[in-house]
Amino acid sequence: MIQGIGKRKRTGRGADRPAIAGGTPVRTPENFLVFGAPKICDEEIDAVVACLRSGWIGTGPRAHEFEGAFAAYKGKRYAVAVHSCTAALHLSMLASGVGPGDEVITTPMTFCATVNAIIHCGATPVLADCDRETMNISPALVEEKITARTRAILPVHFAGRCCDMDPLLDLARSYDLMIIEDCAHAIESEYRGRKAGTDGDMGCFSFYVTKNMTTGEGGMVVTDDERIANRLKMLALHGMSKDAWKRFSDTGYRHYQVVYGGFKYNMMDLQAALGIHQLARIEDNRRRREEIWNTYNDAFADLPCFLPAPPEEDTRHAYHLYTPLIDTERLGKSRDWVLEAMGRENIGVGVHYLPIHSHPFYRKTYGWKEGMFPQAEWIGARTLSLPLSPALTDADVADVITAFRRVLA
């Protein structure tokens, strides 16, 4: 916890009133606190500049180095770098044979990319509701959704908290299903001593700008299966033979073969140069986010909101998102009112997430309706994400606390 920051009160005219009620904003518009701004240091900047000067900007030796470093961090034999976690999910399902006529079970409490990746394979997404406290998919409800068409389970480790993987692994063994883990929030997470993304057949990670480490845009797939890793590499680069990126190297031009109808999902060396140094600092950044998380918990304990559940025993939380749930009954106002009020204080916030089945495209396509996934709906109407970046200064954290306390007072 950050010392000297807590339930402080400001003094002066308008200090205790939120800006939405006519008070003075905590920050000026020119000093707006951006939600999820990454921490970028000189090492990353120097590495990117060196990459630009090298002449090798596209997929090349730095992407290969980054893959090796990430595989070592996760304790897996193979890592395949791609340009997003969406691409990682899509390719993982294709590489495991998911296709038209298949069903893939996932959670309604996720970003649309999870479901869209299933759709892009020609498969049908099937939703199983989440647990209200952990916000992760309920294994018991997953089993209820398994049919003869089910091909895979796609658990999402929400906010940095691992799903309850042992029951899901038991289901996969019992019904001969693949498990593809969506670890976009969970690079550093662990479940009973096992790193997130290493329990399933494949683990998919995000390096988007707001994630725990960033390459601007980017993603990674980890696996121990050499056959799958080779297929992933080829699918990610037009379906060309796996070492096609070397065709312009200093060893001389090499012919390549197109063996799949692939995609343009590869990661550039420019991105990997950033990622190599972000990965080296990931544990330091996690410690800072944990410190901010604990400071928030102490500062908000008396407010009309439900604080995030503490990490479960024998797990490791990645502290990707800090997601209090607004107690709308006690506060007498909606979550969306709180969103607007925080914006008026010039503090950036987010919503993770409106449940997937609440969006018009999915309702029209799959017939999902309000009331089908009550836990996700309850969370989705109340959840709000506060800034939790390691780039936050102590003064930034104090401003978030001041603003949130004023708004919820």
pLDDT per residue as tens digits for the range 382-397 = 999 999 999 999 999 9
Residue ranges of the chain that CATH labels 3.90.1150.10: 19-31+282-349+384-408
The pair of structure tokens assigned to 388 is 């939790």
Please write the tens of the pLDDT for every residue from 330-340.
Answer: 999 999 999 99
Please give the mean pLDDT across all residues of the chain.
95
Catalytic residues, by residue number, are 211
Q: How many CB atoms lie within 10 A of CB 180?
A: 30
**CA atoms of 223 and 67, how far apart (whole Å):** 12
**CA atoms of 279 and 81, how far apart (whole Å):** 13
Of 154, 165, 46, which Cα lies nearest the Cα of 107? 154
Residue ranges of the chain that CATH labels 3.40.640.10: 42-280
Q: Which residues contact 144 (CB under 8 A, 6 or more apart)?
A: 128
Question: 249: alpha, beta or left, given left = phi > 0 and alpha = psi -120 to 50?
Answer: beta
**CA atoms of 130 and 218, how far apart (whole Å):** 27
The pair of structure tokens assigned to 212 is 């725990």
Please write the tens of the pLDDT for every residue from 37-64.
Answer: 999 999 999 999 999 999 899 999 999 9
Please write the tens of the pLDDT for every residue from 18-44.
Answer: 999 999 999 999 999 999 999 999 999
Look at residue 166 and give its three-state secondary structure: helix
Rg (C-alpha) for the chain, rounded Å, is 22
What CATH number belongs to 42-280? 3.40.640.10
5-15 exposure pattern, b = at least 16 Cβ within 10 A, e = fewer: beeeeeeeeee
- pLDDT greater than 80 at residue 160: yes
Please write the tens of the pLDDT for every residue from 239-287.
Answer: 987 665 565 555 666 778 888 889 999 999 999 999 999 999 999 999 9
User: What's the confidence (pLDDT) of residue 255?
Assistant: 78
User: What's the confidence (pLDDT) of residue 7?
Assistant: 62
User: What's the confidence (pLDDT) of residue 254?
Assistant: 72
CATH architecture assigned to 19-31+282-349+384-408: Alpha-Beta Complex (3.90)
pLDDT-based confidence at residue 13 (cuts at 50, 70, 90): very low
Q: How many residues does the chain have?
A: 409
251-284 exposure pattern, b = at least 16 Cβ within 10 A, e = fewer: eeeeebeeeeebbebbbbbbbbbbbbbbbeeeee
- pLDDT greater than 50 at residue 12: no
- pLDDT greater than 60 at residue 318: yes
User: What's the confidence (pLDDT) of residue 234?
Assistant: 93
126-133 long-range contacts (CB < 8 A, ≥24 apart) are 126/150, 127/356, 127/357, 127/368, 127/372, 127/373, 129/373, 129/374, 129/375, 129/376, 130/158, 130/373, 130/375, 130/376, 130/379, 131/375, 132/375, 132/378, 132/379, 133/309
**CA atoms of 65 and 245, how far apart (whole Å):** 14
- pLDDT greater than 90 at residue 16: no
User: What's the confidence (pLDDT) of residue 317?
Assistant: 98
